[in-house]
Structure 1
């Protein structure tokens, strides 16, 4: 149970870090705003033409007697929109991270520098990092979509669907959010997707403590935009513990970048150092 509180603590530390670094916070808002506009446009289009789409997809109901045609298609339209909302919550982080890869990469590096005086590098060209990020994000989105459809279907079970399933849904969504967010820092350290998943499965409560409250907050799109920079910062701090770079109680402010322990050749802190 201690890991639940520790995970939530990393979420708060990340928000505190961006609050103390206003420039990084401002830049980190841009990808979320772009993604929010794209998702809002898609949902508005679905709201306007969802009924027409359902009518086109269910020609067999044209000859049904009234009111069954309207009730059936109305139910399917509501179901389609609810599923779209669920998938929006689940995929928002993955798409935002993909859109904002350079921005969040820079933010994550700044967090590492503030803690240890240097930031590990993957050594890969930008196009390669973007390809890996897109590939891993697609895998996460597909797994999340499967879980989303399954949980949505289970939601129709009386009592269980209205009590247990929502809780499980938030935990699953939170875990996927953490997997996506920690990928920013872990990918720079050469940790592959399969290894990242194994690390998080070994610390599920830590992931839930960080990701579950974030998943609840992300139900409000504008909140998701404003929390994303801090979520990336907090996930970077948590990633350091996952791979053993920091202890659970280390101060996220870390040593000063110019301290003797964090300095590179010539007494200057290295902002792009290799692995610790």
Structure 2
């Protein structure tokens, strides 16, 4: 249960960090807004022309009697839109992170420097194009894994009673786990931690991943909220990555907010009244 609380605290601390750093927050909003516009365009196009696409894809049904043809193609159109919406929810974080790779790398490094005892942050030695390639490759792998889980849980949702009670809860925890993996990837990739190692770290501390990702996944269900929470989620995931790797974290204020300028303002040690972060 301790890990569950630590995950939640990292999530909240990340949001507080961006609230105190307005410029970084505004900078971090851009990728989410771009992704939102792209996804909205795709979904609107699907709503307008999805029925035409289904009719083109099912020529064998052209000769069916009136009501059956309409019911069949109407059902397929609804399923197509539902799956597209599900895929959009599952892939939103991965696509936003890919589009915003330079933005979020800079944000994550700033968080690392603000809570590192020596004021430094791990830096990747790879060129930007290589970082983008690795991010896209790993993002596709995670989206594929989460899509398989999503389809499975969608199918199990038709089971009586269990499908309407247990399965949605399981779905939120699965979503939380994969959200945590995608978001911590920004900080962990800079440290040279590959996808397989990242998944192993999170599987060993599932409660930590659930405490961070599950509340975030629930918040993402509210329209447009994901866009505004993404910068803070990346900041919080950086703190979570430090926790996963057991890295020492500098002093924070009594409200739990990392003191970004502590090193500069207090050369002889932590600011008065500060305590060690995320080490209950």
TM-score by length of 1: 0.90
For the pair 1:144 / 2:146, whether they are aligned, the reply is: yes
* Alpha carbons 2:13, 2:258 under 8 Å: kept: no
* Alpha carbons 2:16, 2:257 under 8 Å: kept: no
- In the alignment, what sits opposite 1:220? 222
* Alpha carbons 1:83, 1:152 under 8 Å: kept: no
* Alpha carbons 1:113, 1:257 under 8 Å: kept: no
For structure 2, the residue ranges without an aligned partner over 5 or more in a row are: 270-280
Residues 243 and 252 (structure 1), Cα distance of their counterparts in 2 relative to 1, 3 Å cut: farther
Separation in structure 1 between the aligned mates of residue 51 and residue 242 of structure 2, nearest angstrom:
48
CA deviation vs aligned residue, 1:201-243 (integer Å, no higher than 9, x gap): 0111111111111111112341000000000000000100000
Separation in structure 2 between the aligned mates of residue 187 and residue 261 of structure 1, nearest angstrom:
32
For the pair 1:31 / 2:36, whether they are aligned, the reply is: no
TM-score by length of 2: 0.88
- In the alignment, what sits opposite 1:253? 258
How far the C-alpha of 1:24 sits from its partner, in A, is 0.3
- In the alignment, what sits opposite 1:98? 98
Residues 34 and 8 (structure 1), Cα distance of their counterparts in 2 relative to 1, 3 Å cut: same
Match of 2:133 among 126, 131, 134: 131
* Alpha carbons 1:6, 1:209 under 8 Å: kept: yes
Separation in structure 1 between the aligned mates of residue 172 and residue 55 of structure 2, nearest angstrom:
32
- In the alignment, what sits opposite 1:273? none
* CA RMSD of superposed structures (Å): 1.9
The range that moved more, 140-149 or 197-206, is 140-149
Separation in structure 2 between the aligned mates of residue 86 and residue 165 of structure 1, nearest angstrom:
15
* Alpha carbons 1:93, 1:180 under 8 Å: kept: yes
Separation in structure 1 between the aligned mates of residue 83 and residue 222 of structure 2, nearest angstrom:
16
Separation in structure 1 between the aligned mates of residue 267 and residue 195 of structure 2, nearest angstrom:
34
